[in-house]
Amino acid sequence: MKAFADISGGRLEATEYDNNFADIKPPLTTLQAQVESARCLFCYDAPCITACPTGIDIPGFIRGINTGNIDGAAHTILTSNILGASCARICPVEILCEQACVRSHEQECRPVLIGQLQQHAMDHRRDKSAQPASRAPSTGKRIAIIGSGPAGLSAAWHLAIKGHDAIIFEAADKPGGLNTYGIARYKLSQETVDEEIEYLMGIGGIELHCETAIGQDISLSELRREYDAVFIAAGLQAVNYLNIEGEDSDAICNAVDYIAELRQSHELAKLPVGRRVVVIGAGNTAVDIATQSRQLGAEEVSMVYRRGPQHMSATDHEQHVAKDHGVTLRYHARPARILHNHDAMTGVEFERTHTDDQGNLSGTGEYYTLPADMVFKATGQTFIPEPFTDGETLQLSKGRIHVDDQFRTSLTHVYAGGDCVDRDDDLAVVAVQHGKLAAQAIDLDLKAQEGQ
């Protein structure tokens, strides 16, 4: 993160920081979980299961809560989603399982609170070391995994239970990927992430090597020579540019970099935050940084998007979170240049935009200025293929790694999943499923090679 000149933090009392970054969804009490679980109709052909990317038996685990079998409920969750604790907190349930809930109809007040019930089951299981499966006898096969985010961790665990050894290479100094560095702190605590990784590693057969970057410390060609298979779960490594005048200002920061710094900070009061903050972007990351800027003491925060609200990638729920925290959402404007007075940022000039009936965006030639002393870019991330091109080149599609239905890449014995591939949504729960399915494909391919 940049060292911001003349921008300080520490405007709030210590208790305010604690309150502002507490869990945005307070955990259910035992009584609340009992009452809420009783609202489930335990549908035979439950649409919530279909809507869950990992296929959790949602009525099954809710019935466990309802009957007091919390350990059974947790087992049901973990059987399908080994990262069930973090996904319970960060999944956009409002567009997945809860949207599909049969109680989510006009005549009903609201869907069953599936996400919070899942969190309750994961947090209250008695034996937090119990695994939903046992590790099979060792096969002697070793699989290299590039990245320790949700896809990489999920793949490692599912390979381990098949008896293979999973060796994870992580460029950062801590494992967890998105969960450790990319999620708003009020959604997911680092303590939960660390506990979940420790639990997952408890299956055995998983090695973790941090501060080991592909393309710098080790090459894809080396991994292909030394391991029986390679699974790429590298995520997205770069942020899109605005390509406007003044973008190199010290008061401009990539939202993902600041969120990473915020998540690992032990002294929130020391983080720099502007008094008037502008966030450029319209996704969940934009919402996260805008909301957290307010929670850190920013007096005015504007989130600006070049199209209308119906085109925003942030869910309606996320947009409401931003508004509830005092963030102003502005539409139909794109940044033109960053304004300065000597060395100090003074604002951002925007051009108003228009979208025609075919969805084409154009500028109107009308400009306005938003005062700002700090700007965050949250305009999306991109995959950088160069670290993976030391030998044969991976086939790309839409700027990401192309994979088939079995998550095989164009290179023999190389698989990929998560945000770095050209399919599905960029969601942690989707990445978990990619890791699981890729591990199953790797296992089957290895057995086929052995003639089993």
pLDDT, tens only, 143-193: 999 999 999 999 999 999 999 999 999 999 999 999 999 999 999 999 999
Give residue 92's domain range.
25-124
In total, how many domains does the chain have? 3
Q: What per-residue confidence (pLDDT) applies to 2?
A: 54
Specify whether 350 is located in the same domain as 421: no
Specify whether 369 is located in the same domain as 399: no
Q: How far is CA 346 from CA 49, 251, 271, 274, 340, in A?
A: 50, 10, 20, 11, 5
Specify whether 397 is located in the same domain as 445: yes
Specify whether 170 is located in the same domain as 72: no
**Is the Cα dihedral 348, 278, 428, 215 positive or negative?**
positive
Two structure tokens written together for 162: 């098949």
Of 377, 395, 420, which residue is a domain's last?
377
- Amino acid identity for residue 231 in this structure: F
Average pLDDT over residues 221-233: 97
Q: What's the CATH code of the domain at 38? A: 1.10.1060.10
Backbone angles phi, psi at 254, to 5 degrees: -70, 130
Backbone angles phi, psi at 154, to 5 degrees: -60, -45
Of 377, 393, 417, which residue is a domain's last?
377
User: Is residue 136 a part of any domain in this protein?
Assistant: no
Average pLDDT over residues 303-323: 94
Specify whether 56 is located in the same domain as 99: yes
Contacts (Cβ under 8 Å, ≥6 apart) of 151:
177, 233, 235, 417, 418, 419, 431, 432, 434, 435, 438
Q: Range with the lowest mean pLDDT among 1-10, 71-80, 106-115, 434-443? A: 1-10
Q: What per-residue confidence (pLDDT) applies to 277?
A: 97
Specify whether 256 is located in the same domain as 330: yes
Write the DSSP symbol of residue 137: P
Helix (H) or strand (E) holding 365: strand 361-371
Backbone angles phi, psi at 227, to 5 degrees: -125, 160
Question: Can you tell me the distance from the alpha carbon of 192 to that of 88, in angstroms, rounded to the nearest whole number?
Answer: 11
User: Is residue 327 a part of any domain in this protein?
Assistant: yes
CB–CB of 284/313 below 8 Å? yes
CB–CB of 402/422 below 8 Å? yes
User: Is residue 109 a part of any domain in this protein?
Assistant: yes
Strand-pair partners of 414: 230
Q: What's the CATH code of the domain at 412? A: 3.50.50.60
Residue range 25-34, pLDDT digits in tens: 889 999 999 9
Specify whether 172 is located in the same domain as 118: no
pTM of the model: 0.95
CB–CB of 4/251 below 8 Å? yes
| DSSP string of 160-196, one letter each residue | HHTT-EEEEE-SSSSS-THHHHTS-TTTS-HHHHHHH
> Is pLDDT of 308 > 90?
yes
Cα 244 to chain center, whole Å? 28
Two structure tokens written together for 98: 């809860």
CA neighbours within 13 Å on the CB side: how many for 185? 23
Two structure tokens written together for 120: 């309750």
Q: What per-residue confidence (pLDDT) applies to 3?
A: 47
Of 124, 158, 177, which residue is a domain's last?
124
CB–CB of 52/99 below 8 Å? no
Total residue count of the chain as it appears in this document: 452
User: Is residue 11 a part of any domain in this protein?
Assistant: no
Question: Can you tell me the distance from the alpha carbon of 403 to that of 53, in angstroms, rounded to the nearest whole number?
Answer: 18
CA neighbours within 13 Å on the CB side: how many for 133? 18
Question: Can you tell me the distance from the alpha carbon of 1 to that of 271, in angstroms, rounded to the nearest whole number?
Answer: 10
> Is pLDDT of 135 > 60?
yes
Specify whether 317 is located in the same domain as 250: yes
Question: Can you tell me the distance from the alpha carbon of 422 to that of 431, in angstroms, rounded to the nearest whole number?
Answer: 12
User: Is residue 322 a part of any domain in this protein?
Assistant: yes
User: Is residue 134 a part of any domain in this protein?
Assistant: no
User: Is residue 352 a part of any domain in this protein?
Assistant: yes
> Is pLDDT of 1 > 70?
no
CA angle at residue 326 from 309 to 298, to 5 degrees?
A: 120
Specify whether 197 is located in the same domain as 275: no
Q: Give residue for tokens 């990489």.
A: 152
Specify whether 89 is located in the same domain as 173: no
CA angle at residue 185 from 387 to 416, to 5 degrees?
A: 30
User: Is residue 245 a part of any domain in this protein?
Assistant: yes
Write the DSSP symbol of residue 263: H
Residue 37: left (phi > 0), alpha (psi -120 to 50), or beta? alpha
CB–CB of 319/309 below 8 Å? yes
> Is pLDDT of 5 > 60?
no
Specify whether 295 is located in the same domain as 186: no
Specify whether 155 is located in the same domain as 184: yes
Q: Range with the lowest mean pLDDT among 5-14, 114-123, 379-388, 405-414? A: 5-14
